[in-house]
Amino acid sequence: MGVIDFLIKGSHGDMGLLMGNEAIARGAIEGGVQVAAAYPGTPSSEILDTLAEVANHFGIYVEWSTNEKVAFEVALAASYCGLRAMASMKHVGVNVAHDPFMTSAHIGAKGGLVLVSCDDPYAWSSQNEQDNRFIARQAYVPVFEPCDPQEAKDMTAECFELSEEFHHPIMLRPTTRVCHARANVVLGDVPKEKRGGVYERRPDLLMYDARGARINRVRMVQRFEKIREAVDELPYNNLELLDGARFGVIGCGLSYNYVREAIRWLKLDGKISLLKVGTTYPVPEKLITRLLKTVDEVLVVEELEPFVELYVNAIAKDANPSVKVHGKDLIPLTGELSTRKVTEGLAKATGSKLPLNYSSLDKFQEESMPLLPMRPPVLCPGCPHRASLYAIKVAAKKVAASDYAEGVKPIFSGDIGCYGLGYLPPIEAIDSAICMGGSIGLANGYAHVVQAPIISIIGDSTFLHAGIPALINAVYNNAKVMVAVLDNDTTAMTGFQPHPGSGMTATGLKTTRVMIEDVARGCGVKFVEVVDPNDIRKARKVVESALKHEGPSVVVFRRRCELLELRDKRKRGEEIIPFYIDAEKCTGCGICINPFGCPAIIKRDERFFIDTILCSGCGVCSQVCPYKAIARQQE
Amino acid sequence: MIEEFNIILAGVGGQGTILASNILGTAAIMAGLNVRGSEALGMSQRGGAVVGHLRIGPAVYGPLVPEGKGDILVGFEPSETLRNVTLLSRDGLVIVNTRPIVPHTVSIGLSVYPSTDEILGKLKQYAQVVAFNATELAEKAGGVITVNTVMIGALAGSGRLPIKNEEILKAIESCVPKATIAVNRAAFKLGFEKAQEILRS
C-alpha cells in the first residue's frame, strides 16, 4: 500500500512509514483542516503535495498559491469565515507572507489557523538559515516545534484545536530533519464535521482604523497571556526531574532526540534531569522554573539562535540566580545539530569522557578528502535551462563586445530555482540569487548605474511569484534590462508542482493558463519573444536583438522540464536513445564540456565520451559540437 | 533484541537511494521495529552527492546516523562511499558498487577521479568491504534503474540485517511499480547471491 492509500484508508491506531511532511498533512486532516494553501519551497513542499493528493477524498480545498503572501491570506480569510485553515511554506517564504502575518494575531482566529514554517538549519536548500521563532515572537504568534514525524502529526492536529480555543493563530515550526525524516507513525481519527464559511462584516477587526489597531493589540496581548498560562500543561512539554540530579538539560524540538542519545552514550542516564520543550514560544515557564530550582547547571540545546536560552536566563533571575546557564557557549550557533555535536557539548559541561575517538574519525576524513572529487548538484542532462543559459551567455558576450566599452562584461542577475545552478563552472551564466524575484529588482538598480548588458534570469514560477512588480518597474522607469523567463512548465526545483503558467491546479483540474508573454505585454513591454531553447541558433539571435532593444525586453525560453519528459517517456514505454561521441571526428576542442557543460559528457584521461546512464537523448550537444562528432546511437 | 541498527545509503542523485531507504523502512515496520530515517531531498535530484540514513531499534531517537555508529554503509558509487565512510563504525561493513559516476568537475579539470583500487584500498583501511559492480548486475536483471534493489539484495546477503528476506521482498513489492516487480526480484536475488559469494570467499 502506497503512502497516499495509507493516508486515505488508514484509521485510528494504524501504523505506517511517513515522512514528516506527510505526517503534517495527515495531522492537518485529523485536525479538521478545510482549506490549505502554500507556495512550494524546500523543505516544506511535500505537505501540500500530499494534501493535494487526498483533497478530493477528504473534501478539503487545497491550492498552490502564486506566492506565500497570497497563501497566507487565503488561509487567513478562511479562518475569518470560521473554517480551519493552514498555510505552509519554507522559512524564507514567511518573509514574503510577513506583512499579513504581522497583523494576523491582531485579528485573531475564528476557525483554527496554522502557519507551517519549515526552517532549514545548515541552509540545505536555502539562501539563509533564519530562525523564524523571532518572526513569530514579533507577531505574538505561539510556536510549536515537533521533534519527529509522530509528534509533527499530533501537534498539527492539536494546533487547530488550540488556535480555535484561544482565537489566535499558531506557527508550527518543523526543521529540515523533521520535514524530511521518516518514521513509523500511528494514525488518529479524522473528524466528520464540515463547516460552511460565514462572512461577517467586522471593520473593527479588519480595518486599519487607528482605534481598531490599538484595541486589537490590547486584545492580542490578553489572549497571548492566556496561552502563556496554558502551555506548561501540554504533552509536548515534559519534565523528567531526577532526585539528587544537580545538572539539567533542556532539549527543544528536534534537538531533544540528540539529547536523549547523548545522555545514553555518556552513560548519564539517571544522573541528569531533562526537560523536553515542544512549545518554544511562549516557553513553559513553570516547568523551566521547577527545573532551575533543583540544579546547579543547565544546558539549553536548540538549533540556530539562542531563543529559549534567553528566556531560561531571564527566568533564572527569579527562580535560581546562582544557576549556571549553558547554551551557545557549548552548542554550535550555526548549521544543524547532530548527536555528536550535542554529545561533545554535554561531555564538556559535565566533564564526561567521550564515547568515541572523534579525532581519529576526523583524521581519516581529512586524509580521504584529497581523493574525493567535488560533486555539487548540477543542471540535469537534457535540462533546457542549460541550452537557454548557453544561448544567453554567448549572445550577451557578443553584444558586450560590439556595443559596449572594451572589457565590459554582461551582468547575469539570477533568481531562485534550478537554473541558479548555472552559477557554477563551466556555465557561469548566473551571478546572484538573493530572493524570489530579486533578479529583476536588482537589474532595475544596475540599469541606472552600470553601462553593460543586463540580463535577469528567472524561472516561470518565480516570475509569477514575485517578478511582475519588478518588471512593471522596469517599464515605468525605463530600465534597459533583458528579462529571460525560463519556462519549463513546472516548479521543478521543489518537486514539479504546477503553477498558473502550467494551466493545472494543485488537485489536477484544468484552468486558465496564464501566458508569460501576455503578462509581459500587458505590463507594457514592447519587445517580447518566445523561443525554444533547444534551437540554440535562433535563441542566440533573439537574445542579441533583445539586448539591442532600447528599454526593457522579455524573452520567454519555453521547453518542458526534461525530468518530466523522461518520466512520461518511461510511462509510455518509449526507449531513451542516448548520444555518443565519434572518436574519429572528435578533435578534443572541449566546447561540449566547457562552456556547454552537460554532465553526461565526460572527459577523463584526455578521452571524451558520453555516459549512457546519464544521457537523456536531448541531442543539444550535437548542435553545439562544431565538428559534427556527436550523434544519436543506432537503435 | 538489538538496541539500534544503523544503515547509511550513499550515492549520486538519481540512483534511487531514497526508494531503497523507503523499502528498508517499510520492511522494518513490517517486522514490528521502530524506524527513524532522513533523506536528502531538494537539490539531490540534480546529480549531487546524496546520503540517506535509516535507523532501526528501540534506542533510536534522532533521524541521522551518528558519526562512527553506522553498522552498514551501502555505497551506490565508489567516491560517495568513501566520502561517508566515517559515519560507519570500525566494526561496520561497507557494501560498495564499483561502477563510478564521474562528476562534471572532473571533466572541466577542477577535480580528479581516483582509480577504483585507490578508493577500495582506502575503504579497506577503515572497515570490512564487499565490493562488486552492481550496475552490471542491475543491467543483467533488466535495467540500470534496479541498481538500488541489487544493493538491497547485497545488504540482505550480508546476513547482518535484523530484517528477514521475506519482509524485504514484501516491502519491495509494495514500493515499486507493479510492472517492475519481477525485475526487482531478480535484481534482489543477484545482489543477495553476490554478497554471499564474496563473504564466503
Among residues A216, A232, A248, the one where a domain terminates is A232
Say which residue, A606 or A157, is predicted with more confidence.
A157
Dihedral of the CA atoms B48, B51, B52, B55 (nearest 10)? -170
CA–CA dist A481, A555 (Å, integer): 11
Show residues of chain B in contact with A260, CB under 8 Å.
61
Does A517 lie in the same domain as A395? Answer: yes
Sign of CA dihedral A94, A96, A100, A106: positive
**Do residue B66 and residue A339 have CB atoms under 8 angstroms apart?**
yes
**Do residue B86 and residue A16 have CB atoms under 8 angstroms apart?**
no
Mutate to test the interface with A, among B56, B61, B99 (most CBs of A within 10 A): B61
Total of domains in chain A: 4
In chain B, which residue's Cα lies nearest the Cα of A150?
Answer: B36
**Do residue A613 and residue B101 have CB atoms under 8 angstroms apart?**
yes
Does A425 lie in the same domain as A486? Answer: yes
Whether A466 maps to a domain, the answer reads yes
In chain A, which residue's Cα lies nearest the Cα of B48?
Answer: A377
Q: How many CA atoms lie within 13 A of A175 on its CB side?
A: 27
pLDDT at A331: 98
What's the whole-number mean pLDDT along residues B175-193?
A: 95
Q: Report pLDDT digits (tens) over A207-218.
A: 877 777 889 999
3-state secondary structure at position A484: strand
CA–CA dist A46, A50 (Å, integer): 6
Does A517 lie in the same domain as A429? Answer: yes
Helix (H) or strand (E) holding A213: helix A210-230
**Do residue B37 and residue A380 have CB atoms under 8 angstroms apart?**
no
Q: Report pLDDT digits (tens) over B87-131.
A: 999 999 999 999 999 999 999 999 999 999 999 999 999 999 999
Whether A371 maps to a domain, the answer reads no
In chain A, which residue's Cα lies nearest the Cα of B136?
Answer: A613
Does A223 score more than 70 pLDDT?
yes
**Do residue A373 and residue B61 have CB atoms under 8 angstroms apart?**
no
Whether A378 maps to a domain, the answer reads no
pLDDT at A615: 93
Whether A40 maps to a domain, the answer reads yes
Least confident of A56-65, A534-543, B35-44: B35-44
Spell out the domains of chain B, with CATH numbers in brackets.
Answer: 5-133+161-176 (3.40.920.10)
Does A252 lie in the same domain as A221? Answer: no
Give how far B163 is from chain A: nearest CA, Å: 16
**Do residue B174 and residue A1 have CB atoms under 8 angstroms apart?**
yes
Q: Report pLDDT digits (tens) over A540-576.
A: 999 999 999 999 999 999 999 999 999 999 889 898 9
Does A283 score more than 60 pLDDT?
yes
**Do residue A183 and residue B112 have CB atoms under 8 angstroms apart?**
no
Average pLDDT taken over every residue of chain A? 96
3-state secondary structure at position A307: helix
**Do residue B45 and residue A594 have CB atoms under 8 angstroms apart?**
no
**Do residue A603 and residue B44 have CB atoms under 8 angstroms apart?**
no
Show residues of chain B in contact with A125, CB under 8 Å.
41-43
For A419, the domain range is 384-568
Whether A373 maps to a domain, the answer reads no
CA–CA dist B87, B80 (Å, integer): 12
Whether A374 maps to a domain, the answer reads no
**Do residue A261 and residue B62 have CB atoms under 8 angstroms apart?**
yes
Does A115 lie in the same domain as A18? Answer: yes
CA–CA dist A540, A556 (Å, integer): 13
Interface size A-B, in CB pairs within 8 Å, comes to 188
Does A545 lie in the same domain as A488? Answer: yes
Question: What are the φ and ψ backbone dihedral angles of B125, each rounded to 5 degrees?
Answer: -65, -25
CA–CA dist A116, A118 (Å, integer): 6
Does A126 score more than 80 pLDDT?
yes
Does A66 lie in the same domain as A31? Answer: yes
DSSP 8-state secondary structure symbol assigned to residue A622: H
**Do residue A184 and residue B43 have CB atoms under 8 angstroms apart?**
no
**Do residue B35 and residue A258 have CB atoms under 8 angstroms apart?**
no
Give how far B76 is from chain A: nearest CA, Å: 14
- Which residue among A125, A181, A614 places its CB closest to the CB of B38? A181
Show residues of chain B in contact with A611, CB under 8 Å.
101-102
pLDDT at B44: 57
Does A447 lie in the same domain as A353? Answer: no
In chain A, which residue's Cα lies nearest the Cα of B123?
Answer: A368
Does A142 lie in the same domain as A219? Answer: yes
CATH number where A200 lies: 3.40.50.970
Give how far A258 is from chain B: nearest CA, Å: 6
pLDDT at B43: 58
Whether A223 maps to a domain, the answer reads yes
Among residues A188, A216, A232, the one where a domain terminates is A232
pLDDT at B1: 67
- Give the contacts of B178 (CB within 8 A, at least 6 positions apart): none
Q: Report pLDDT digits (tens) over A360-394.
A: 999 999 999 999 999 988 999 999 999 999 999 99
Whether A626 maps to a domain, the answer reads yes
pLDDT at A589: 94
Does A32 lie in the same domain as A60? Answer: yes
- Give the contacts of A582 (CB within 8 A, at least 6 positions apart): A629, A630, A631
- Which residue among A181, A365, A376 places its CB closest to the CB of B37? A181
Does A242 lie in the same domain as A163? Answer: no
Q: Which three cell numbers stand for residue A445?
A: 538598480
- Sorting pLDDT into bands at 50, 70 and 90, what band is B46? low
Give how far A449 is from chain B: nearest CA, Å: 35
pLDDT at A263: 97
**Do residue B36 and residue A361 have CB atoms under 8 angstroms apart?**
no
CATH number where A580 lies: 3.30.70.20
Does A251 lie in the same domain as A298? Answer: yes
pLDDT at B39: 83
Among residues A232, A249, A274, the one where a domain terminates is A232
Show residues of chain B in contact with A613, CB under 8 Å.
101, 135, 144
Q: Which of B115, B87, B91 is nearest to B102 (CA)?
A: B115
CA–CA dist A289, A319 (Å, integer): 6
